Amino acid sequence: MNRTAIILLSFFMLLGIGFLTYYYKVMKEHPRRLPVLGEPGQKVMPFSFTNQDGKIVTEHDMEGKIYVAEFFFSTCEGICPTMNENMTAVYQAYRGQEDFAILSHTVKPEEDTIEQLKRYSLKYEADGKQWMFLTGNQDSLYRMAIYSYIIPVEEKLDPNGVPAFIHSENFILVDKEKKLRGVYDGTNKEAVAKLIKDIAELRKEY
């Protein structure tokens, strides 16, 4: 290799190193921001539900926290077991982190009593201070789903006149300002893996 070629190669190597140094400096100072979903200024509405330990949980308990919301019911034999198995991966990724929580709302509160939710939560070794399985007034729960988290929840009668509970498979990521920052398919492992990464990105904003 002649001298000119060596000089050019050295120049481009130094140029590449300089670019990478600048890129990582910019990324550190200005990390990727997740989008804000919903109407401008929309935030999660005030709420008051009861968790598996009998504790009242309100929006004030989420102050200074990033959290993930979902809707399920404990006797569901459809998507719920898959959703909560996948939610366990999210829980384990941020277990013990004081600025992170999970709110799992039942859509069948007449059956999902505090005692039932406690038994259900033990399947996932959920700490009620961080992963909260919530029950309360059905209308309030449904309003939270539809108007705060923008996901469909309803109760229909099947052909035999038996109530059929319809709810979304989505996990909703909420930031510390109570704004929606992401929607993820809770039955899809790749989507849940992205949620785990996005939580890490969102934490960089604070």
pLDDT in tens, 22-56: 333 433 454 568 999 987 778 999 999 999 999 99
Please check whether residue 75 is in contact with residue 167, taking contact to mean a CB–CB distance below 8 angstroms. Answer: no
Please check whether residue 143 is in contact with residue 169, taking contact to mean a CB–CB distance below 8 angstroms. Answer: no
Q: Which residues contact 64 (CB under 8 A, 6 or more apart)?
A: 99, 176
- The CATH classification of domain 48-203, taken from the options 3.40.30.10, 3.10.180.10, 3.40.50.720, 3.40.50.620: 3.40.30.10
Q: Taking the model in full, what pTM does it have?
A: 0.82
Tokens of 83: 């959703």
113-145 confidence digits (pLDDT tens)? 999 999 999 999 999 999 999 999 999 999 999
Ranges of each domain in the chain: 1-30, 48-203
Q: Which residues contact 98 (CB under 8 A, 6 or more apart)?
A: 65
What distance in Å separates the CA atoms of residue 8 and residue 174, rounded to the nearest whole number?
A: 50
Vertex 68, ends 56 and 94: CA angle to 5°? 100
Indicate the residue type of 42: Q
**Within a 13 Å sphere around the CA of 26, how many CA atoms are in the beta-carbon half?**
7
